[in-house]
Amino acid sequence: MTATAGFRESELEHPLAPREFEEVRKLAYGSFGLELKPGKEELVSARLGNLVRKGNFRSFGDYCAWVRSDASGRSLAAMIDALATNHTAFLREPDHFQFLRERVLPELAARRTLELWSAACSTGEEVWTLACLINESFPARDVRILASDVSGKALRTAQNARYPAERCQDLPSAWLARFFAAQGRPVQAYQVRPEICRQAAFRRLNLIETISGVGPLPVIFCRNVMIYFDRATQEKVVRQLTGCLEPGGYLFVGHAESLTRVPHCLEYIRPAVYRKPVKREGKWTKSW
């Protein structure tokens, strides 16, 4: 479903029509829960325009029809990669990592294997922040971090584990020396060392689909993704994440993602940190 020979380049630059924006909205919401509200037309046009042009589609409508008809799923995956927001940083929302270091990890100190899940890990900075913190706090432990995202493009960047020097400037110098290899003189980039990379397993996961084979885990980070979901989708995602937590396990969400209006069974611990109750003597009780 591509344009016929002889189309004019200007035909691909027409503004996104309202009905086409609605088609994209439905596709995005149905495939990975993204809620594109009115006012996002320019963003959608900018992010999908290149795919429309490269595919020689005459319109966004033709492009959407192709995505729906592509049984391989590759076109949908490319659309998700284009629309997904992958803004993140090392040590983002640092009080979470301080709480993990001071409160959560000591509770797990007796375990030889420490397992965590970085859901919606984006380009991987959260994954490697967690790995550095755990290895610094508990050397010689078996660390296993599941890193997942709906975007295959973001996952490839995360798995490559190489970041420009300016993206790493806020990392502790001790971490850079111990867990990263500097590249170039002057330093142009930092590569996560192989022994740290081996502690992470990457998996493409769509949080609005049924999640299987994950958990139960003591810690799940799922931050700054639910802000893109509507209330019903947030409720579904939180329910699934709760099911992947072990009793007493912690869920970290973004500071802009209060669960106040989302039905759940988790205990509020502190801003953006929740805990699954512990079951004792046949009843669910507070864990502290």
Give the catalytic positions in this structure.
Answer: 47, 149
Prior bond to 172 cis, omega within 30? no
Count of residues for the chain? 288
Q: Sort 255 into a burial class: Cβ within 10 Å, 0-12 / 13-18 / 19+.
A: middle
**Could you tell me what percentage of the chain is helix, strand and coil, using 3-state DSSP and rounding each to the nearest 5?**
40, 20, 40
Q: Cα torsion for 101, 109, 121, 37, to the nearest 10°?
A: -70
Q: What angle do CA 269, 125, 166 make, to 5 degrees?
A: 125
Beta-carbon contacts of 244 under 8 Å, excluding residues fewer than 6 positions away, are: 117, 211, 214, 215, 216, 217, 220
Distances in Å between the Cα of 105 and the Cα atoms of 46, 102, 134, 266, 282 are 43, 7, 8, 19, 27
Sign of the dihedral defined by the CA atoms of residues 34, 40, 46, 48, in that order: positive
The residue written with tokens 């502190």 in the block is 270
Residue 148 has which token pair? 């997942």
Beta-carbon contacts of 25 under 8 Å, excluding residues fewer than 6 positions away, are: 36
